[in-house]
Structure 1
């Protein structure tokens, strides 16, 4: 038996990691889309959106757990085990902070700041690019497209930084201490979601540099 055939024997036949990463990306896109659309027509007395965000977050936890299970069961992986671990954890962080943002919007019961939907749109766009980057990372079929998605995610994070600073300036002009505390907390959670997306983009970019 040739060395090529021996190598193939140890390869995951179903490319399980890319399958799982694509499922994670699908969940993130659906979660961020619902988050954004729900805030466009928000009702503090209807917690359907929060329940859905919790459901998404739990499914993400299950998928992340499965990725780590597969790391323990597969001898050959598509790239470094450490990179797979960082990527899985980073993707899960996006969902965790998205859910936290939604939770505190409901818990604080403060009026919605206009910046909330600016953030959720940036989050949704970031998740779309994460999905595209992971799709094109599969078998490293389109490194250029992966790089372009990572650049876009980084640009969305930069925009989010500006949205945060401008929103906080306007918030302090209200001179309402309790409102400032509540809304500033939510704004910072939302901005952190874009930070986590940027972390994922940086991890993907690092993988690309190593293997493409």
Structure 2
């Protein structure tokens, strides 16, 4: 019995998930602000830096979660679920940062309405991911479990919306864009932006699995 009492238990995984979720929301909102103010170089660079800062902060949280997994004997949910969830969440911010960097690398000069719409949908997805994560510590309550599944369904619907916007944007791009360089640039941006909502859906699927096993 003494050995069991001395083993590290639980850790603060849920708090770390919440902190990471906050970084995701911060990064996505900074990315949207960058798109909205893209014509202002100073503001563009400021918000791009905020995206980078959020990604770096999230990386530290991910590293701490993985460190805790090695030290904690009894975890609040399955170890593989913890590992899979934190890494999938980290992928969201990696994609936000990748998209921001690609815009700069490709020297994209202006934003289209479709880029703006996809960015807005990315923020909504990220906000729902962060909200779903905050519910994980209370899944033993049936009402919370139901709310979590509902939030995951909202993420699925937003991902479908983003997919439709992306398909429409691609169709318009190939019909109307005469400059092949701009076409290549925007095609890459659209695909990256749509992949953000895809990754949010991946997180939602992981959370739904956690709900089924732990509620």
SS at match of 2:41: coil
Residue 19 (structure 1) aligned to one of 15, 18, 37: 15
Residue 24 (structure 2) aligned to one of 7, 24, 28: 28
Indicate conservation of the 8 Å contact 2:8/2:71, yes or no: no
**Aligned-residue offset at 1:44:** 5.9
2:166 paired residue number: 164
Separation (CA, whole Å) in 2 of partners of 1:145 and 1:11: 31
Q: Does residue 204 of the first structure (1) align with residue 207 of the second (2)?
A: yes
2:99 paired residue number: 101
1:193 paired residue number: 196
Displaced runs of 4 or more, over 3 A:
5-13
Indicate conservation of the 8 Å contact 1:20/1:63, yes or no: yes
Indicate conservation of the 8 Å contact 1:44/1:106, yes or no: no
Indicate conservation of the 8 Å contact 1:108/1:182, yes or no: yes
1:148 paired residue number: 150
2:128 paired residue number: 129
Q: CA RMSD in A?
A: 1.8
Gaps of 5+ in 1: none
Classify 1:57/1:6 alpha carbon distance in 2 versus 1 (closer, same or farther; 3 Å): same
Give the number of equivalent residue pairs.
208
Indicate conservation of the 8 Å contact 1:38/1:49, yes or no: yes
Indicate conservation of the 8 Å contact 2:30/2:48, yes or no: no
Q: How does 1:37-116 map to 2 (within 5 A)?
A: 37-43=33-39, 45-46=41-42, 47-110=45-108, 111-116=110-115
2:119 paired residue number: 120
Separation (CA, whole Å) in 2 of partners of 1:113 and 1:123: 15
Classify 1:157/1:42 alpha carbon distance in 2 versus 1 (closer, same or farther; 3 Å): same
Indicate conservation of the 8 Å contact 1:44/1:109, yes or no: no
**Aligned-residue offset at 1:63:** 0.7
Separation (CA, whole Å) in 1 of partners of 2:60 and 2:115: 28
Once structures 1 and 2 are overlaid, which stretch shifts more, 134-143 or 40-49? 40-49
1:177 paired residue number: 180
**Aligned-residue offset at 1:132:** 1.4
